[in-house]
Amino acid sequence: MSLNRIAGRRGRPHSRHATDHPARLARRAAEAAATPPPSTNTSVMILYYHHGVGLQRFAIFLFCVFPLLAQRGGADSPVAKPEEGIPVTDPLVISKCGTCHHKDGKGNLSRISWERTTPEGWEEAIKRMVRLNGLSITPNEARSIVKYLATNHGLAPEEAKPVMYMAEHRIQDETNIPNDAVRGACTTCHAFGRPLSWRRSKDDWKLLANLHVALYPQADAHFHRGGRGGRGPAGSQTQQPQQEPIDEALNFLAEKAPLHTPEWEAWRARMRAPKLAGRWLVSARIPGRGEFFGEMVIEPGSADDEFATRVKLTSVKDGSTLTRSGHGLVYAGYSWRGRSSVANAKPAAPDDPAHEVRETMWFSPDQSHAEGRWFWGEYQEFGADVKMERASAEPTLLGLDRASIKAGSQSRVRIFADNLPAQIAASDLDFGAGVTVRRIVSHNPGEIVAELDAAPNAVPGKRDVVFRRSVLESAIAVYDRVDYIKVLPATSIARLGSDVHPKGYQQFEAIGYEKGLPADIEIGPVDVTWSVEEFLSTYGDDDKEFVGQLSQTGLFTPASDGPNPKRKFSRNNYGDVWVVAAARNEKDKEGKPLTGRSYLVVTVPTYIRWDQPEVSQ
């Protein structure tokens, strides 16, 4: 790679007489060394001093400037003690990685011993080694290396949980970005959850920034103020230099995502083989399809951290059943990655849950419960929000068929459970003050049907549902009225497609809310009609006519990819629109239906996918 590319192609070449003579170059180097750089990062300093120096004479420049840069450190400058690495002990990792990542006397491999991350992070690193550095590796070897590194150089449960949305492929509005400088340096190209899924030494965070500049020339424009790494307006050299965005980002990451943390040290001592075999109770919610309840039977696999699974779920909405079988692997004692499928399945639609699904779940450190997402689709756009807990001999509540009950009304509710006794009385159930269980209509070992009476003065808010000693927290809301509705997700993306490039769909839901203090009360799904409206971004905007179709179940199906002769200039069918939900029964103060909307971008397919079949299979 050329120095010109690393430097971001700054500046224009100066005339030959201005830089030919070594004495002149040395004088310019001295002047540069006397001027405080915009960064303390050595690689950034080199690029800073390189500004305006011709590449043909850059070697002479470095020869002159490096002694001056060394003097800036001086004998009086404190030398930071290097951080202790995490030794690598696995023979396969040492064999495959040790050729380039040299091993020191303590068993550390360069770079690797100063990094920790998720299974996806290590998988991505191996893919990069295959693509860029010619690593030769079989799928079985890749899986073994990922398993070792994700367990011994992974994250503690407390570190992984805040960024599980990355592995779960969720649409997430990230609120964990500290300021605009860090946002610009880190999130222009990827989610902030990506760096937060890693733990590195301070030096390794700097090396990562340098790698970005080497591999992605556009990164340099986002790392520095004032354009592509320039020194800013004329005369700015005399002003107090501002901290560069990359330095703000590196300082933040070194503080919030260091290599050594109390959580990791505690988990290394506490980590144990996962003992997950047995029956687990499953509660799942699929946007657009509602609630599912059932069980997963986990059986031991060929290794202590591998398992076989059998799942049976029943839809609350239509009573249909879904039977799946699969397998899973647990990294670091808590982090489940699995796959399951329906035998002889022929999915009828893209959103049909009969597709093969990938499973990402976070098991609690005590291995008593789990939560996560099972997803499918070319862009992982479909999925189920899943919660699991171990089955026991005691009665256990799983969920309800409704999310709310209106104050002053009578309602019939179905309560899904496990291991219910033969005799059940109304007094066994408790919905909190103001909600009375009038009678038990029917029951069996897995379900109770009860009639409820909500008093007109019942306090609005989320209620726990209790059956003897089993508690279902915040399971049902009592409300007075629906004040507004939200369309979720609030912002989203869909992708055009064709026979060659699959489409990316988007499922929407309308959720009702009542205003309250200190927080508004979520009432649950609202019956609505769906439509698409123009998001006016240009004169004569016509995107809604071409981007795709929205069904009355809230599923958006994008149009075909490619030039459309019916559009002006034969443009592709991309565009941005509002997805609008209008309530069928809920009105505002003027008697008009309550409405909510979501911003949808419909864009082109992902034409190129940087993937390696030898790793991902």
Helix, strand, coil percentages (3-state) for the chain, rounded to 5, are 25, 30, 40
pLDDT 10s digits, 572-616: 999 999 999 999 999 999 999 999 999 999 999 988 764 444 443
Section 29-46 average pLDDT? 39
Give the residue from 97, 199, 110 showing the smallest Cα distance to 150: 199
Q: What pLDDT does 17 receive?
A: 36
Q: Is 92 helix (H, G, I), strand (E, B) or coil?
A: helix
Q: How many CA within 13 A on the CB side of residue 212?
A: 21
Q: How far apart are CA 84 and CA 51, in angstroms?
A: 36
Instruction: Give me the amino acid identity at 359.
Output: E
| Cβ atoms 389, 283 nearer than 8 A | no
Structural domain boundaries of the chain? Answer: 3-73, 278-390, 396-479, 484-603
Section 219-230 average pLDDT? 71
Go through 90-105 and write b for each residue having 16 or more CB atoms within 10 A of its CB, e for each that does not.
beebbebbeeebebee
Flag the least confident range among 42-51, 93-102, 119-128. 42-51
The answer to whether the 396-479 and 484-603 domains have the same CATH topology is yes
Homologous superfamily of 278-390 in CATH? Quinohemoprotein amine dehydrogenase alpha subunit, domain 2 (2.40.128.120)
Residue 29: pLDDT band (50, 70, 90) is very low
List the beta strands (DSSP E) in 86-161.
Answer: 115-117
Q: What pLDDT does 500 receive?
A: 86
Section 207-226 average pLDDT? 89
pLDDT 10s digits, 240-255: 567 899 999 999 999 9
Q: Is 601 helix (H, G, I), strand (E, B) or coil?
A: strand
Bridge partners for 65 per DSSP: none
Token representation of residue 243: 């901290």
Instruction: Give me the amino acid identity at 367.
Output: Q
251: enclosing H helix or E strand = helix 245-256
Q: Is 575 helix (H, G, I), strand (E, B) or coil?
A: strand
Q: What pLDDT does 609 receive?
A: 67
Indicate if the pLDDT at residue 195 is higher than 70: yes
* Cα–Cα separations (whole angstroms), residue 614 to 141, 143, 149, 206: 10, 10, 18, 30
Residue 18: pLDDT band (50, 70, 90) is very low
Residue 486: pLDDT band (50, 70, 90) is very high
Section 72-100 average pLDDT? 81
Residue 81: pLDDT band (50, 70, 90) is confident
Q: What pLDDT does 449 receive?
A: 98
pLDDT 10s digits, 423-444: 999 999 999 999 999 999 999 9
Q: What pLDDT does 217 receive?
A: 84
Indicate if the pLDDT at residue 617 is higher than 50: no
Q: How far apart are CA 556 and CA 558, in angstroms?
A: 6
Q: What pLDDT does 224 receive?
A: 87
pLDDT 10s digits, 351-408: 999 999 999 999 999 999 999 999 999 999 999 999 999 999 999 999 999 999 999 9
pLDDT 10s digits, 105-131: 999 999 999 999 999 999 999 999 998
What percent of the chain has pLDDT above 90? 77
Q: What pLDDT does 249 receive?
A: 96
Indicate if the pLDDT at residue 534 is higher than 60: yes
- Helices 202-215 and 42-50 cross at an angle (nearest 10°) of 40
Q: How far apart are CA 6 and CA 29, in angstroms?
A: 20
Q: What pLDDT does 608 receive?
A: 74
Section 524-542 average pLDDT? 94
| Cβ atoms 419, 391 nearer than 8 A | yes
Q: How many helices (H) and strands (E) does the chain have?
A: 17, 28
Q: What pLDDT does 48 receive?
A: 37
Q: What pLDDT does 82 receive?
A: 81
Homologous superfamily of 396-479 in CATH? Immunoglobulins (2.60.40.10)
Q: How far apart are CA 313 and CA 267, in angstroms?
A: 33
Indicate if the pLDDT at residue 76 is higher than 80: no
Bridge partners for 560 per DSSP: 497
Residue 80: pLDDT band (50, 70, 90) is low
| Cβ atoms 264, 156 nearer than 8 A | yes
Q: How far apart are CA 161 and CA 164, in angstroms?
A: 5
Non-local (6+) Cβ contacts of 62 within 8 A are 46
Token representation of residue 283: 């509660």
Strands 593-603 vs 491-495: parallel, antiparallel or unpaired: parallel
Indicate if the pLDDT at residue 62 is higher than 50: no
340: enclosing H helix or E strand = strand 335-341
Q: Is 62 helix (H, G, I), strand (E, B) or coil?
A: helix
Indicate if the pLDDT at residue 237 is higher than 60: no
Q: Which fold has domain 484-603?
A: Immunoglobulin-like (2.60.40)
Q: What pLDDT does 242 receive?
A: 76
- Cα 525 vs. chain centroid, distance in angstroms? 24
Q: Is the peptide bond before 489 cis (omega within 30 degrees of 0)?
A: yes
Q: What pLDDT does 243 receive?
A: 87
Q: What pLDDT does 240 receive?
A: 59
164: enclosing H helix or E strand = helix 164-167
Strands 404-406 vs 470-479: parallel, antiparallel or unpaired: parallel
Cross-sheet strand order for the sheet of 528-534: 491-495, 593-603, 575-587, 528-534
Angle, CA 178 vertex, CA 173 and CA 183 arms, to 5°: 65
